[in-house]
């Protein structure tokens, strides 16, 4: 299966590329600059391309761009993505001296992406820190995935289960993405207070 990491030259995209490549996926790192993508990809032994070319030839598209550009990036790639399943990992955060908060937006980034593309959008991996994901071994934590399209969600749950040594857990419909994105703020606050790279474990689920 070929996975395109849109905006994949950032820290999260590169860390995810490592895990997916180790799991046997064909990984394409995308960037607005093809040369930059190819340079980053060469370091990991994967392929690099423009975002558009990466999306057009993929079985799964992962939007690893920064939160403030995720929706517009998806909109610009609508034709290239087509009906391909899209994984949204972004979370909008508001930083202040009191701490980190979710923004006041009423809808999730994942839902706003779904509104501008034709394929199914699945949200997930929000609790995985790039530092943990890109370590020597897969992070020992669970990750939550939500979405409305059962077939697309099954694909993403399998993918998510390959990048962590914990479990990929179905967290329900795409509406749950607002809570999952907000959870990122909680984890960042925990990390700042305890100088840690915290993750999640869900108990009581077989």
Position 115 confidence tier, pLDDT thresholds 50, 70, 90: very high
Q: Which of 13-17, 43-47, 96-100, 178-182 is predicted with the least confidence, judged by mean pLDDT?
A: 96-100
Position 104 confidence tier, pLDDT thresholds 50, 70, 90: confident
Stretch 176-199: mean pLDDT: 94
Other Cβ atoms closer than 10 A to 17: 30
Other Cβ atoms closer than 10 A to 170: 16
Which domains does the chain possess? Answer: 2-194 (3.40.50.720)
Say what the pTM is: 0.96
């Amino acid at each position: 299966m070929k996975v395109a990491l849109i905006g994949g030259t950032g820290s999260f995209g590169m860390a995810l590329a490592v895990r997916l490549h180790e799991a046997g996926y064909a990984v394409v790192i995308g960037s607005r600059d093809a040369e930059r993508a190819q340079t980053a990809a060469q370091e990991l032994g994967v392929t690099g391309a423009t975002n558009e070319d990466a999306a057009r030839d993929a079985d799964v598209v992962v939007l690893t761009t920064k939160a403030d550009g995720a929706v517009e990036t998806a909109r610009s790639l609508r034709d290239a993505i087509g009906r391909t399943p899209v994984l949204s990992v972004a979370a909008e955060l508001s930083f202040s001296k009191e701490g980190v908060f979710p923004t006041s937006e009423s809808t999730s980034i994942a839902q706003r992406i779904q509104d501008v593309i034709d394929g199914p959008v699945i949200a997930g991996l929000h609790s995985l820190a790039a530092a943990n994901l890109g370590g020597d071994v897969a992070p020992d934590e669970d990750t939550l995935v939500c979405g409305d399209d059962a077939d697309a969600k099954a694909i993403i749950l399998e993918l998510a289960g390959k990048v962590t040594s914990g479990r990929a857990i179905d967290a329900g419909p795409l509406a749950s993405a607002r809570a999952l994105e907000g959870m990122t703020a909680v984890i960042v606050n925990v990390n700042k207070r305890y100088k840690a790279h915290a993750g999640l474990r869900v108990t009581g689920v077989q």
